[in-house]
């Protein structure tokens, strides 16, 4: 209902995009999420990255993941997703840097510490 009544509201568009993404409608999600970008919210950026990745636009997805991390720099899940996107795109030096940043912020994560140690050596 809000999609019709308040179709220009970025919060409504972001919510519709999130819903469409959850339903596997990535193209539809992109249309809505792009209208939610003015919010400058990490979740909107993360959803954009996921939708872009789903439609094979990995390089663009990477840009939105970076924005998400810049917006919410202490979010462990976002940092891991950023690292995985670098790996998916075979951008290994950047993946290593992202992992190092993650381990610096979250030293208690023994899995990532061990993974970083293997990559560095």
10, 39 Cβ separation under 8 angstroms: yes
Running DSSP on this structure, what letter comes out for residue 74? Answer: T
pLDDT in tens, the chain (121 residues): 455 555 788 999 999 999 999 999 999 999 999 999 999 999 999 999 999 999 999 999 999 999 999 999 999 999 999 999 999 999 999 999 999 999 999 999 998 999 889 887 6
The two tokens of residue 77 are: 């899940």
Task: Please state the pTM of the whole predicted model.
Answer: 0.88
Please write the tens of the pLDDT for every residue from 29-58.
999 999 999 999 999 999 999 999 999 999
């Amino acid at each position: 209902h809000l999609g019709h009544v308040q179709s220009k509201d970025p919060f409504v568009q972001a919510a519709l995009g999130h819903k469409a993404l959850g339903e596997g409608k990535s193209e539809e999600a992109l249309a809505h999420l792009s209208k939610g970008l003015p919010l400058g919210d990490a979740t909107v950026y993360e959803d954009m990255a996921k939708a872009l990745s789903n439609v094979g636009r990995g390089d663009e997805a990477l840009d939105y993941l970076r924005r998400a991390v810049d917006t919410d720099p202490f979010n462990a899940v976002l940092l891991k997703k950023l690292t995985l996107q670098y790996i998916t795109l075979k951008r290994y030096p950047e993946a290593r840097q992202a992992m190092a940043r993650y381990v610096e912020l979250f030293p208690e994560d023994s899995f990532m510490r061990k993974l970083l140690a293997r990559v560095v050596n």
